[in-house]
A and B are shown apart, each in its own frame.
Chain A
């Protein structure tokens, strides 16, 4: 076991898989000598050489498009997009090719690609460095979207993403990169994709969240416990496809649901979860579903970013209102 930050866990997962699978290659802006602007790929170029850990010219669409070309020739590229706000030039390649190539060739060509990128705000970064645009990606058929919330899950889910035969968008919550350390067994054990992870068992209300918002949500659950409320906290982990069964099972037990996400509310993944529970679990509900989300605004610059990111107070208030309904 090693006591790792999420960043270190991500680096270890890369190194493990590159040591065991020669087809895995890493490419992106500043991922080589510099080890990535957050150091997620630190030391990998030294260990695996410049062919397998490449600094690319500066063009996100190019990184994504290269990944597609490389993947069709038997490689497993891991591309890094430096921040999620810079994903837009790559969307043509992601949506039109990466997500579609297996389907349109009826399985002849495929894209075992991981596209990693920092996700979300809270580190006082400049403009365009704090976006949460997971719903835009989840909306595209053919993509998996994954967002870990701890060093161990970052390690295990990244390994699973690399080994997955199809493209995976891997969102790394920047607030969690260096927030906490956790014992991680660096033994190449992948965790399951496409399933939720229960972070806290409870009986009164279900809280579904992912990524950095697990921090505020767990704090809120702890605060409510002091009032005698038992919260079940579910980390969605894979945002597409969603493990609706686990959420429905939890809601069947608790009868109440609050969804918490940092991304804007409108057409967010919370809406998809709420709609599915309304379709398949309405009669289990004792109260209307509530969402606690980022506002439907542009995420503000640093002076106001914590006014935008849902606070513990907003979450506890939503839980109390749901319990009172």
Chain B
């Protein structure tokens, strides 16, 4: 008996970038690269997200909201994923992807409401079927897979899109979800946002694999990398993945390479662990400037439009902040009323007690 070798896997990981950091287009590029209206729509939301994010961080600094997870630097990935999805698809986010959520209809005031410490922020008026923020790392991966399983069982041409960070790929739930999605050929797309850092732990400490996309190979499904700061590449590649999923072509892992230009959250200070030079270099590749340069060069965008856009964003944000700040504090009943469809006798008793002691806690 000899040893027999069977080659079972040999792979290359595609990396897609159409728009480089200077806003130069690499051909061949998808038709989207010449659809200025669609690109402007995405650029407008990226700009709104950047301005809103800055405002949210400031609101935390002055004590108007609680801890907030900034999305600075992720705008292209988040907005492009939103644009690639259809309204009837389902999003399972982590806690940073407000660009996707806003594209899908979540209101700025709802985002502030949640980070301001009120569960009503998760009761999106639109879209009603998306998952809210998911704090326990990677656990949302299984929700995305479960949603996709429901679509498959019901024969609906919809797909789930689930986010995870680079750190999250070390969790068991990541593997469980992509394994299940592969084994059952589920209409699911998993977007790994590799921003280089899991709080203070750099990607090199997270894994020995050269890419996170290649982890998909072990699950028997396609994995692909994109420049997460290139809105055209993310929109195109995720668009292909969701179309394939809806057609019954199965799941995909898309690794979007980007960079967390902010601290992990407002409770974090990245200067404790992150080399300044790395941050400076990352700013040179940030996502907004390149698409603006590209659109400007195409004569599809000019300074006047930019100024109007900035003013429009400021107005929208101001209105949202006003709405958030003028909202009434929830009553203590809110703790009890939605735990079950009907509160239990113990909850009714405790609800009464909470009413009696409401606003008498000395804080």
Residue A97 at the chain B interface, CB threshold 8 Å: yes
Tell whether, in the assembled complex, residue B176 and residue A102 are in contact, meaning their CB atoms are under 8 Å apart: no
Complex Cα gap A108–B120 (Å): 10
User: Which of B120, B151, B180 meets A106, CB within 8 Å?
Assistant: B120
Tell whether, in the assembled complex, residue B172 and residue A56 are in contact, meaning their CB atoms are under 8 Å apart: no
Q: How many chain A residues touch B (Cβ–Cβ < 8 Å)?
A: 43
Chain A residues lying within 8 Å of B200, measured Cβ to Cβ, are none
Residue A62 at the chain B interface, CB threshold 8 Å: yes
Residue A227 at the chain B interface, CB threshold 8 Å: no
Q: Given contact pairs A69-B160, A109-B132, enumerate 7 new A-B contacts (beta carbons under 8 Å).
A: A65-B143, A65-B176, A69-B147, A73-B90, A105-B122, A108-B123, A142-B340
B156-188 with Cβ < 8 A to chain A: 160, 172-173, 176-177, 179-180, 183
Encoded as 1 (CB less than 8 Å from any A CB) or 0, chain B from 228 to 239 comes to: 000000000000
Chosen A-B contacts, 15 in total, with CB atoms closer than 8 Å, are A56-B180, A59-B179, A62-B177, A66-B146, A69-B145, A69-B150, A72-B147, A73-B154, A75-B150, A93-B142, A103-B338, A105-B123, A105-B132, A105-B338, A244-B345
B298-317 with Cβ < 8 A to chain A: none
Residue A277 at the chain B interface, CB threshold 8 Å: no
CB distance from A44 to the nearest CB of B (A): 15
> Which residues of A are interface residues toward B (Cβ below 8 A)?
25, 51-52, 56-57, 59, 61-62, 64-75, 89, 92-93, 96-97, 102-110, 141-142, 144, 165-166, 194, 241, 244-245
Residue B98 at the chain A interface, CB threshold 8 Å: no
Chain A residues lying within 8 Å of B62, measured Cβ to Cβ, are none
Chain A residues lying within 8 Å of B124, measured Cβ to Cβ, are 108
Chain B residues lying within 8 Å of A57, measured Cβ to Cβ, are 176, 179-180, 183
Question: Given contacts A68-B146, A106-B119, are A97 and B176 in contact (CB under 8 A)?
Answer: no
B306-363 with Cβ < 8 A to chain A: 334, 338-341, 344-346
Complex Cα gap A241–B348 (Å): 12
Complex Cα gap A317–B56 (Å): 65
Interface of B is mostly: helix
Residue B131 at the chain A interface, CB threshold 8 Å: yes
Chain B residues lying within 8 Å of A96, measured Cβ to Cβ, are 136, 139
Tell whether, in the assembled complex, residue A68 and residue B142 are in contact, meaning their CB atoms are under 8 Å apart: yes
Tell whether, in the assembled complex, residue A194 and residue B344 are in contact, meaning their CB atoms are under 8 Å apart: yes
Tell whether, in the assembled complex, residue B132 and residue A72 are in contact, meaning their CB atoms are under 8 Å apart: no
Complex Cα gap A245–B92 (Å): 41
Tell whether, in the assembled complex, residue B173 and residue A103 are in contact, meaning their CB atoms are under 8 Å apart: no
Tell whether, in the assembled complex, residue B339 and residue A67 are in contact, meaning their CB atoms are under 8 Å apart: no
The residue in B128, B136, B338, B340 that gathers the most chain A C-beta atoms within 10 A of its C-beta is B340
Question: Given contacts A62-B142, A68-B142, are A109 and B131 in contact (CB under 8 A)?
Answer: yes
Complex Cα gap A57–B128 (Å): 30
Q: How many chain B residues touch A (Cβ–Cβ < 8 Å)?
A: 43
Chain B residues lying within 8 Å of A165, measured Cβ to Cβ, are 340-341
Question: Given contacts A52-B153, A103-B119, are A141 and B339 in contact (CB under 8 A)?
Answer: yes
User: Which of A67, A73, A103 meets B129, CB within 8 Å?
Assistant: A73
Chain A residues lying within 8 Å of B128, measured Cβ to Cβ, are 108
Chain B residues lying within 8 Å of A107, measured Cβ to Cβ, are 123, 338
Chain A residues lying within 8 Å of B160, measured Cβ to Cβ, are 69
Tell whether, in the assembled complex, residue A65 and residue B139 are in contact, meaning their CB atoms are under 8 Å apart: yes
Tell whether, in the assembled complex, residue A65 and residue B145 are in contact, meaning their CB atoms are under 8 Å apart: yes
Residue B69 at the chain A interface, CB threshold 8 Å: no
Chain A residues lying within 8 Å of B99, measured Cβ to Cβ, are none
Chain A residues lying within 8 Å of B341, measured Cβ to Cβ, are 102, 110, 165-166
Chain B residues lying within 8 Å of A108, measured Cβ to Cβ, are 122-124, 128
Tell whether, in the assembled complex, residue A241 and residue B177 are in contact, meaning their CB atoms are under 8 Å apart: no
Complex Cα gap A96–B136 (Å): 8
Chain B residues lying within 8 Å of A244, measured Cβ to Cβ, are 345-346
Tell whether, in the assembled complex, residue A72 and residue B119 are in contact, meaning their CB atoms are under 8 Å apart: no
Residue B216 at the chain A interface, CB threshold 8 Å: no
Chain B residues lying within 8 Å of A52, measured Cβ to Cβ, are 153
- The chain A residue with its CB closest to the CB of B158 is A73
User: Which of B119, B147, B151, B340 meets A104, CB within 8 Å?
Assistant: B119
